[in-house]
Amino acid sequence: MAEERTGEILRKTAETEIQLQLALDGSGQHQIDTEIPFFSHMLTLFSVHSLCDLKVVAKGDIAVDDHHTVEDVGICLGQALKMALKEKKGITRYGEATVPMDEALVRVVLDLSGRSYLVYNVELNRERIGNFATENGKEFFQAVANNAGMNLHIDLIRGKNDHHILEAV
């Protein structure tokens, strides 16, 4: 019987309290509450399309700003991914996906090398989608890459609608 590839992270800071559970070999089951509806929507899409099971409960100082919550969830997701992959035996180290979402087209390439690096070539027009500051998309992926030990390249090929662009990312 194969060993479970899961990670569970609890993070409590002065600004946030995050509980995150990740099961890599899941079926896309999800329970997400970040207090930031668009961000919760994006994490739900990640779970559904990756077939990873994901549970996230995040409480943060969103009355001040959504930055801490978004970044800390990224930290937790990166740590949980690293924990779930263990020694990375039996995985394909490199991955690539080009994803359309209506008029938007995005390419994401990653290397689970253990070395953190982010290239984020995504230009957005709106400052906010709901109560999600679009600048925090980059902060989220920087936190994931840093904490997972992942080399991550995200390139917007084309797109006009920021919602669609971020869904494709």
Q: What is the pLDDT of residues 50-92, one digit of tens each?
A: 999 999 999 999 999 999 999 999 999 999 999 999 999 989 9
Instruction: Give pLDDT tens digits for 129-153.
Output: 999 999 999 999 999 999 999 999 9
Name the percent of the chain lying above pLDDT 70.
99
* Mean pLDDT, range 26-47, rounded to an integer: 98
Q: Is the pLDDT of residue 99 over 80?
A: yes
Give the per-residue pLDDT at 3.
79
Rounded mean pLDDT, 4-8: 97
> What pLDDT score was predicted for residue 25?
96
> How confident is the model at residue 2, as a pLDDT?
63
Per the CB < 8 A criterion, the answer to whether 122 and 140 are in contact is no
Mean per-residue pLDDT, 143-164: 98
**Coil vs helix vs strand at 99:** strand
Mean pLDDT of 27-45: 98
* Whole-number average pLDDT of the chain: 97
In angstroms, the CA 80 to CA 87 distance is: 13
Residue 1 has pLDDT above 60, yes or no: no
